[in-house]
Amino acid sequence: MGRIVSIDFGSKRTGIAVTDPLQIIATGLTTMHTKDLFDFLTAYFKSEEVDKVIIGLPKSLDGSDTHATPLVRAFMNRYRKLFTIPIETVDETYTSKLAVRALIESGVKKKDRRNNKGLVDEMAATIMLKDYLGHHY
């Protein structure tokens, strides 16, 4: 059984989370510049067995697309041309707010949250993955 990779895609930064090989535990992996994402995925897929990739699809509360939705769709189109590992979208509503709240509750200081915005992206990817695991397994 392979891992599931979760992507919190952003125009500048992207957060990544993964499961363990048994797909039980979701853990934050890294945050990177979005421009480096395909290189990262290529190397990661060569080093780890991955069964699936999930990516947050940004939607407004009324269900309409946001300014970021076309960016995610464009990423998915390119992804499907380069990789055979299945990719599917998940709802990412409120994941960034939940990530900030989780960091506050875990004791991360405001200054550290402000200086390391990538931590929020990584935590958001982890929250999406935990939610996915809770609904699918």
Q: Which two tokens stand for residue 126?
A: 């982890």
pLDDT tens per residue across span 53-102: 999 998 887 888 888 899 999 999 999 999 999 999 998 876 777 766 76
CB atoms within 10 A of CB 108: 16
Question: 22 lies in which domain range?
Answer: 3-136
Q: How many domains does the chain have?
A: 1
88 three-class SS: strand
Q: Name the strands in the sheet holding 87-91, side by side, starting at the edge strand that comes first in the sequence.
A: 26-33, 13-19, 3-8, 50-57, 87-91
CATH code (residue 103)? 3.30.420.140
**pLDDT, greater one: 120 or 52:** 52
**Averaged pLDDT of the chain:** 88
CB atoms within 10 A of CB 38: 14
pLDDT tens per residue across span 38-56: 999 999 999 999 999 999 9
Q: Which two tokens stand for residue 87?
A: 């990719």
With a pLDDT cut of 70, the percent of the chain lying above it is 85
